[in-house]
Structures are given as structure tokens and as C-alpha cells.
Amino acid sequence: MPSAEIEVLSTLRFWQAQGQSAALATVVRTYGSSPRPAGSLVAIRADGAVIGSVSGGCIEQDLIERVRMAIPALPQRLVYGGAAEENRRWSMPCGGQMELVLESAPSAAILDQLLAALHARQPIARRLDLASGVSTLFTPSATTRLICDEQQLIIPHGPQLRLLIIGAVQTARYLAEMAAALDYTVLVCDPREEYRLTWNVPGSELLDGMPDDAITAMQPDAYTAIVALTHDPKLDDMALMEALRSPAFYVGALGSKRNNTKRRERLALLDLAADDIARLRGPVGLPIGSRTPPEIAVAILADLIAVRNGIELIAASAPTLQPQYATA
């Protein structure tokens, strides 16, 4: 499944190939609660066709009306929300505000280079001169962030996030479906034929080799997460060793605290450095009391989101009140 970013840019390029003019809007800044984060994209064709999202629909409708009237010759900065009346008008969350840049679609050459880099998993960034509307591309550094000032807009376009799930088990089905909805490229590896025969999750790629070989072949990068779900050391341990030595931003393994302690002891015997072993998130997922496969999938994805956003969460304390039951 293509990422939302690739979907918007590819559609924009398709419209251009058809001779259709279009505009591109980018969320550049948010204050308080807002429907979409900075970097979100929406493309609007001159006739009002739209792809992408920057809100629940209210802001898109205003953008559509603007583009139908005229695609801006030069980039425009638009602000939605803030005052109570504005929030009601745009259905923004309480106190929320969003700033966007609306521009005529980048040139075909720029879009082609952007899409080629994204498909090749190469980081790339675009610099938009707000005075002239001219776009240029450059290779970003690890610290490049979205910036919008009076002169320019810098938009990093990172590779699509990938999730490799080890084990085509029931929990993996929910995890794969939810991860795909979050724009992850989902790969599932299981050498056991009996599990592969019943795998039928759309949008995921099923691999049949040994998990450690799959990790070596995929060459994990800083946009890759790896989660082991099999409970089988023959499948998990060697794969986790390769994963923990890689730049993957997240490596987790399902199992109890006791099983994960034993897993760490086995990884130490594989001559894995202590710092690498310390990266293992196990038991995987946030401690939210999850028990069923879909609940476990939610806990894992919540932890993935927190790690990507640089947020360290503290486990919720146990409830102090017992549930009350009605009596006859």
C-alpha cells in the first residue's frame, strides 16, 4: 500500500500528465489540538477533485473553493482556527489553529524526482521559495525538519515507514491491518507453511524464508520497525540478533517478562553487545493490560507511535476503585 504522501504526489503527477492544473496545500504549523500534523498534504485539481487530507473536511472545502476560483500564481499562507468563532467555522478542536501553504503544483520534473526518491527509500527534501514559488530539491541531513519562515518552506520527505512482523499468527493479522492504516509498508515473514497457507491480509507482503535472512535482505534503516511474535527461539532469536544490530528504530518481541529475560540471556550468548540487547522492547507494546490479539496489536502500535514521536510513556497506575455492579 503506498503511503499517503506518495498517493498525493503520484495523483498530482497523474493530473499533470493529463494536462490538468492543480494546487498543493501543506500543513506547516499547528497550535494546540489540530486534526492533522505538520507535513500533511492535500492536492486539489482545478475542477475541485481532491486527494489527501489536512482536516476532517471543513478546511478542504475552503481550499477547494479557493482553487476553483483561481490557482494561486504565488504561494499563499493561510491560517484556520484560533478564535472561538473561527474554531466553530472550521470545526477545529478547542483552541486549535492550523497554518498552511497553498501553492501551484510543483513542476513535473520536481515531482518525478520526489517520487523516484520516495520509491527508492532515499531521504529527500524540497525547498519552496515563498516569494517566487520556485521549488528546489536537496538531500536532507538527519536533523532537517519542516521549517516555514517569511522566505521559504522546507519540507523533508522521508522514506515510508516499514514494519516487519515475524510470525503469521493471529496477532500479526490485526497488527498488519492497523499498521497499513498508519501508512506502514507491512512485511510478514514466516517459514512455516501451515501459517502461510491461511494468511490473507490485503496490503501486506508475505515472505517464506527464515526471518534472519529476511532482515538481512531488507537492510533495515531508521524508518524500519521489527516485531517478533512467534514465541519460538528458533525463529525469533537469530532474527532479533540481526535486527538489534541494525539501524531499525524499533525492535520488539512478544512474551512475558520472564520469557524476555531468558531471551536477553540467549542473545548475550550470541555475542550481542549489551547496548544492542538494551534496545529490545520486550514485552513488546505499552502495558495497558492487553490480552486479546487486537488489544495486543493496539498496544504495540501505540508504543511504535510514541517511539517515533520521541515520547517516553509511564505505565498507568492500577485503578483504586473496584467496578460497581447493580443488584436486583
What is the percent of the chain where pLDDT is above 70? 89
Cell, residue 97: 489553529
Low-confidence ranges of the chain (pLDDT < 70): 1-2, 33-35, 56, 82-95, 142, 314-328
- Summarised one tens digit per residue, pLDDT across range 16-25 is 999 999 999 9
Q: Hey, what domains does the chain have and what are their CATH numbers?
A: 4-121 (no CATH), 162-308 (3.40.50.720)
Q: What is the pLDDT of residue 326?
A: 40
Start-to-end C-alpha separation, the chain: 53
- Do β-strands 224-228 and 162-166 pair in parallel, antiparallel, or remain unpaired? parallel
Residue 281, phi then psi, degrees to nearest 5: -95, 100
User: Whole-prediction pTM value?
Assistant: 0.72
d(CA 116, CA 122): 9
Q: What is the pLDDT of residue 323?
A: 44
d(CA 48, CA 66): 9
Q: What is the pLDDT of residue 82?
A: 67
